[in-house]
Amino acid sequence: MTRRRLPIGIQSFRRLRETDSYYVDKTPLIRDLIDRSDHCFLSRPRRFGKSLLLDTLRSLFEGREELFRGLDIHEHWDWSVRHPVVRLSFGGKYDEPGEIEGDVIEQLEAIERHHDLVPVPTSDTGPRRLRNILDRLHRKTGCQVIVLVDEYDKPILDVLHDPDLATANRDYLRGFYGIIKDCAEHVRFTFVTGVSMFSKVSLFSGLNNLDDISLDPRYATICGYTEDDLDRVFGPELEGLDREEIRTWYNGYHWTGGERVYNPYDVLLLLRKRAFRPYWFETGSPTFLFRMLMERSVSPMELENRMAHMSLVSKFDVNDIGIEALLFQTGYLTIAEERRDEFDNLYRLDYPNLEVRVSLNRGLLGHLGKAGKEPLDQARELCGLLEANDFEGFGDVLRSYLSGIPYQWHATGDLARYEAWYASLLHMCLRAVGVDVRAEDASSHGRADMVVLTGGQVFVIEFKMADGEEDAAAALDAAVRQMRERGYAEKHRDREEPVHLLGVACGREARNLLEIRAESA
């Protein structure tokens, strides 16, 4: 196979094809989509190739046949028909009132210039101008218009910290998008992409004929790279890289039905730099997510294996943002398993891969004020002490780590959940350095709070709360007795590794570790 250019940062289909860059042919899915639907919506996390997909559609409908030679759709498309295209992208800043209207007007003016349309004086607002453009382009060319909208939700997502402005931007966009349906006789095909799935009632009430393909199994791989794509397209670049390590780091995104996919940005940067790094995570800081987790007292441990009803992963509006929806739609959780019964669809959500699992937990540590090397050094030290069976030292470092957790985060939690809370803080710390940690590890008789697998050993950990140091011994007795009676260690015997039982007693008033006890299982 011939080596080609890696299309890092290229969102133009024309440029990608003219520079002989690698291209994963998505045109079979595009052809099927156009045959089935006239108005589509797709939600995917950032840097998943949505903009390139839209530009591919633009080139296709504009009839740029030379760009599609050698691709699946070339022999199945009528190149004699060329549609005018209106493409809008909301990639700017919208953190001041009125900025969204100004940006829309500028984009529509550019579209008028491109198509040699003289502005109409009465078209003094974005919605009126769009209506006028769609009408005149149809009349001028004799072909219906293609409408493509990229980052449709960015003007809202950027200002979620300001509910009034977010609501104002949402209401403006609702009226603007409604024009597309009002001008249905002029529009042949609509495709809208973004990160979030704002409800049709709140944002698309005027464009309620959109076919949401975000969770349609037929189009699960329309963005992203599959395992086959890596072998078939990027084969010349894979030499010297461990495929299993690539899979562990970057594969795992899943939108029902189809196979799991890689984030293209991660893959391309890996092939360029030949080093495993959290490339995708480093391009965005989910501060809003961290703040929401604190405000809603959602522990880091609860993020894994989180069960959600189908309606929850798509529940998103300015004043009603579900934590499951936010985590899933932004790409920090993905569908690990789908369960169906007669009435409902349930999804088990989990981290897609090692990159997100480690990076998100490190980000949470930083948001807690435990930034820099200190928390990671503490995590590595905790692992080393466990592996050396220095449980006294482990307790000292854990006590130091817990003492650095800000009071505000403790205060947001329900006192009845303190055991799970301290378990989650240790869980987050160990996850931040990539340790294999199993939260609420189930056995036939119950669930262990935590199981840590490191250094060829198994550590079963049970947390108990105590009212003071005098009560700590009784709490530890109860913890160890529970682990033994319920056989938490038995499911790990087949690993043929040493198994240790660790009881951890934390004080309700002290808000820290009181005592730790370790025994061989």
* pLDDT, tens digit (0-9, with 9 covering 90-100), for 473-498: 999 999 999 999 999 999 898 889 99
Within 200-299, residue ranges assigned H as helices are: 227-234, 243-250, 264-273, 287-295
CA 289 to each of CA 178, 293, 486: distance values in angstroms, whole numbers, following the listed order? 30, 6, 37
Task: Tell me which of 173, 190, 219 is where a domain ends.
Answer: 219
Identify which of 358, 340, 350, 360 has the alpha carbon closest to the alpha carbon of residue 252. Answer: 350
CA 229 to each of CA 1, 82, 242, 267: distance values in angstroms, whole numbers, following the listed order? 14, 30, 16, 11
Identify which of 41, 46, 53 has the alpha carbon closest to the alpha carbon of residue 12. Answer: 53
User: How sure is the predictor about 416, in pLDDT bands with cuts at 50, 70 and 90?
Assistant: very low
Q: Is 117 left (phi over 0), alpha (psi -120 to 50) or beta?
A: beta
Q: Is 395 left (phi over 0), alpha (psi -120 to 50) or beta?
A: alpha
Residues 359-409 have pLDDT tens digits of 999 888 877 765 555 778 888 999 999 999 999 999 999 998 888 776 555
Residues 30-86 have pLDDT tens digits of 999 999 999 999 999 999 999 999 999 999 999 999 999 999 999 999 999 999 999
SS3 137: helix
Determine whether 340 is exposed, middle or buried from the number of CB atoms within 10 Å of its CB (0-12, 13-18, 19+).
Answer: exposed
Mean pLDDT in residue range 97-115 = 94
- How many domains does the chain divide into? 3
Task: Tell me which of 181, 199, 219 is where a domain ends.
Answer: 219
Q: Is the model more confident about 322 or about 477?
A: 477
Q: Is the model more confident about 311 or about 518?
A: 518
Whether residue 435 is predicted with pLDDT greater than 90 in this model: the reply is yes
Task: Report yes or no on 456 lying in a domain.
Answer: yes
Q: What share of the chain is helix, strand, coil (3-state, %, to 5)?
A: 45, 20, 35
453 with 421, same domain: the answer is yes
307 with 382, same domain: the answer is no
198 with 331, same domain: the answer is no
CATH code of the domain in which 170 resides = 3.40.50
CB atoms within 10 A of CB 353: 24
Mean pLDDT in residue range 170-199 = 90
pLDDT of residue 415: 44
72 with 116, same domain: the answer is yes
Mean pLDDT in residue range 344-349 = 86
pLDDT of residue 289: 85
157 in Cβ contact with 286 (< 8 Å): no
Q: Convert 169-224 into a string of H (helix), E (strand) and C (coil).
A: HHHHHHHHHHHHHHCHHHEEEEEEEECCCCCCCCCCHHHCCCEECCCCHHHCCCCC
Mean pLDDT in residue range 488-514 = 90
Whether residue 198 is predicted with pLDDT greater than 90 in this model: the reply is no
Task: Report yes or no on 227 lying in a domain.
Answer: no
Predicted TM-score (pTM) of this structure: 0.89
Q: What is the DSSP string of 45-70?
A: -TTSSHHHHHHHHHHHHTT-GGGGTT
- Rounded CA gap, 7 and 396, in Å? 50
Angle (CA) 495 498 502, round 5°: 115
pLDDT of residue 213: 93
Q: Partners of 502 in the beta sheet?
A: 461, 518
Task: Tell me which of 167, 189, 219 is where a domain ends.
Answer: 219
Whether residue 242 is predicted with pLDDT greater than 80 in this model: the reply is yes
214 in Cβ contact with 220 (< 8 Å): no
Task: Report yes or no on 169 lying in a domain.
Answer: yes
Task: Report yes or no on 305 lying in a domain.
Answer: yes
CB atoms within 10 A of CB 458: 21
Q: Are strands 211-212 and 85-89 parallel, antiparallel or unpaired?
A: unpaired
Residues 203-228 have pLDDT tens digits of 676 666 788 999 999 999 999 999 99
Distance of CA 125 to the CA centre of its chain: 35
- Rounded CA gap, 287 and 159, in Å? 12
Length of the chain counted residue by residue: 521
46 with 184, same domain: the answer is yes
Which residues are CB-contacts of 98 (< 8 A; sequence separation ≥ 6)? Answer: none
DSSP state of 108: H
- Which residue type is seen at 31? R
Task: Report yes or no on 358 lying in a domain.
Answer: no
- Rounded CA gap, 155 and 95, in Å? 8
307 with 380, same domain: the answer is no
385 with 318, same domain: the answer is no
CATH code of the domain in which 431 resides = 3.40.1350
Return the half-sphere exposure (C-beta side, CA atoms, 13 A cut-off) of residue 397.
21
User: How sure is the predictor about 412, in pLDDT bands with cuts at 50, 70 and 90?
Assistant: low
Element (H, E) at 345: strand 345-350
User: How sure is the predictor about 199, in pLDDT bands with cuts at 50, 70 and 90?
Assistant: low
Task: Report yes or no on 34 lying in a domain.
Answer: yes
Task: Report yes or no on 319 lying in a domain.
Answer: yes
304 with 397, same domain: the answer is no
SS3 78: coil
397 with 480, same domain: the answer is yes
Distance of CA 42 to the CA centre of its chain: 14
pLDDT of residue 208: 67
- Rounded CA gap, 86 and 133, in Å? 9
210 with 305, same domain: the answer is no
Residues 248-289 have pLDDT tens digits of 999 999 998 778 999 999 999 999 999 999 999 999 878 888
The residue segments making up the domain with residue 196 are: 25-219
196 with 71, same domain: the answer is yes
Angle (CA) 17 18 22, round 5°: 40
Task: Report yes or no on 340 lying in a domain.
Answer: yes
Identify which of 147, 120, 149 has the alpha carbon closest to the alpha carbon of residue 134. Answer: 147
Round the average pLDDT of the chain to a whole number and report it. 89
SS3 168: helix
324 with 386, same domain: the answer is no
pLDDT of residue 410: 53
pLDDT of residue 338: 87
Element (H, E) at 328: helix 323-329
- Which residue type is seen at 333? L
Of all residues in the chain, the percent with pLDDT exceeding 70 is 95
